[in-house]
């Protein structure tokens, strides 16, 4: 229901009870917006609202006082922070994440994919592993489209196989799965189409 100024003026006049008593001002009828508020529900969870220098903040606390959810609304947009033992996101079809920068920090990271994985990196990739790196696959194929392939090691390099061929293919062609399998021009066309 909308409250008009005329209604407020009528209310202010009626609440004086007499024309000889000063009328209540309109600003006194309008409650000042609070800078903070808190509400504890029957569940025991507490909801806290506050206006701070970096924006408006909503904090949801568990029964033991631990922060479950923190939402900060700034001029640039909302910032969400979850604090829980487990956080699960489920989508029946597609889950998309788009951002200028995605930063993931974890003590351990596990990835389980039932199907295939395809990664397209427009720039360069640098992987640094302090421990050992183990790669296991049904077969392994590596291809350098433009430049050379170099292998260096501080220790020995061992090549063991049933058959080791050097220049084994007199007319080598790109692997059938590569972007230049149909020629370099196909890779250019794919980049223009955003593939």
Secondary structure string (H, E, C) spanning 129-155 = CCCCCCCCCCCCCCCCCCCCCCCCCCC
pLDDT recorded at residue 191: 57
Contact at 8 Å (CB) between 79 and 72?
yes
pLDDT recorded at residue 184: 63
Is the dihedral angle over the CA atoms 54, 57, 63, 69 positive or is it negative? negative
Give the CA radius of gyration of the chain: 33
User: For all residues of the chain together, what is the average pLDDT?
Assistant: 83
Give tens-digit pLDDT for 77-92: 899 888 777 888 889 9
Q: How far is CA 158 from CA 89, 145, 153, in A?
A: 44, 25, 10
Give tens-digit pLDDT for 94-144: 999 999 999 999 999 999 999 999 999 999 999 999 999 999 999 999 999
Contact at 8 Å (CB) between 16 and 23?
yes
Residue 28 has pLDDT above 80, yes or no: no
For residue 9, name the pLDDT band (cuts at 50, 70, 90). Answer: very low
Give tens-digit pLDDT for 43-71: 999 999 999 888 999 999 999 998 989 99
CA distance 131 to 125: 18
pLDDT recorded at residue 84: 73
């Amino acid at each position: 229901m909308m409250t008009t100024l005329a209604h407020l003026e009528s209310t202010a006049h009626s609440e004086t009870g007499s024309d000889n008593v000063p009328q209540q001002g309109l600003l006194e009828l309008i409650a000042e917006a609070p800078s903070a508020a808190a509400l504890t529900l029957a569940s025991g969870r507490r909801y806290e609202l506050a206006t701070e220098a970096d924006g408006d903040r909503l904090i949801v606390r568990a029964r033991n006082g631990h922060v479950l959810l923190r939402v900060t609304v700034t001029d640039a947009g909302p910032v969400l922070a979850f604090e829980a033992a487990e956080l699960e996101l489920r989508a029946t079809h597609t889950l998309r994440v788009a951002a200028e920068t995605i930063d993931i920090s974890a003590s351990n990271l596990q990835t389980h994919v039932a199907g295939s994985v395809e990664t397209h990196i427009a720039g360069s990739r640098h992987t640094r592993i302090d421990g050992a790196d183990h790669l296991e696959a049904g077969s392994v194929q590596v291809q350098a489209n433009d430049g050379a392939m170099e292998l260096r090691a501080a220790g020995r390099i061992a090549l063991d196989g049933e058959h080791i061929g050097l220049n084994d293919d007199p007319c080598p062609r790109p692997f059938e799965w590569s972007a230049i399998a149909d020629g370099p021009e196909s890779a250019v066309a794919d980049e223009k189409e955003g593939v």
